[in-house]
Amino acid sequence: MQKLKIPVTFDPVKAAQKRSTFDGILPLQSLIRLTESLVIKQGEVAVRIECATDQQGLAVLQGTASCSVSVCCERCGETMLLALESSFIYTPVKGDDNAALALIPESYDVIVRDEHGEINLRQLVEDELILALPLFPMHDAADCNLSADAMSFGDIGPEPEKPNPFAILQELKKK
Ligand SMILES: [Zn+2]
């Protein structure tokens, strides 16, 4: 199957009227905020979004975004692979139209349309993946290079041969 790049921006209301489906990829390197916390900043994000109009007449974008990323294990510092996956349902809104916002079911997230009536799909997908990224990624204990046992001894600190800078200060004070 040929992988198509999905559009960065589009008009969600028109897409909903046409019942468009976007099925394609986003280059991972175009998601700069996300790749900041990744070890390998290249790859592909698989994105699928179905646009439709619900019974209430709202335009609805329902989709998934998934990719595998390399992050640093917070325990051992080695690179680890993580599968990120996100499912979402958005409805587009115009700015701060509170009357319209009040009618939106809680199960929908809202995305604001810009002055051209478009939304930024790349930003939406990037936000979703950043939320899917764990704050402190770690290997499972069994796979981690630093076992839980080693951690419990708390034997991680400055090497003993290195002089403690505060000790030096104390020596100076004594003189
Ligand atoms: Zn680890």
The alpha carbon of 94 and the centre of ligand 1 are apart by a number of angstroms equal to: 45
**Alpha-carbon gap, residue 93 to 5, rounded angstroms:** 25
CB of 48 closer than 8 Å to CB of 64 = yes
The alpha carbon of 71 and the centre of ligand 1 are apart by a number of angstroms equal to: 10
**Alpha-carbon gap, residue 42 to 96, rounded angstroms:** 36
**Alpha-carbon gap, residue 74 to 135, rounded angstroms:** 9
The alpha carbon of 131 and the centre of ligand 1 are apart by a number of angstroms equal to: 21
Domain positions in the chain are: 4-174
What pLDDT, in 10s, does the model give residues 48-94?
999 999 999 999 999 999 999 999 999 999 999 999 999 999 999 98
Q: CA distances (Å), 13 to each of 26, 111, 115, 127, in order? A: 22, 12, 14, 21
What pLDDT, in 10s, does the model give residues 86-117?
999 999 998 777 787 888 999 999 999 999 99
The alpha carbon of 17 and the centre of ligand 1 are apart by a number of angstroms equal to: 48
**Alpha-carbon gap, residue 126 to 149, rounded angstroms:** 37
What pLDDT, in 10s, does the model give residues 121-137?
999 999 999 999 999 99
Arithmetic mean of pLDDT over the chain: 87
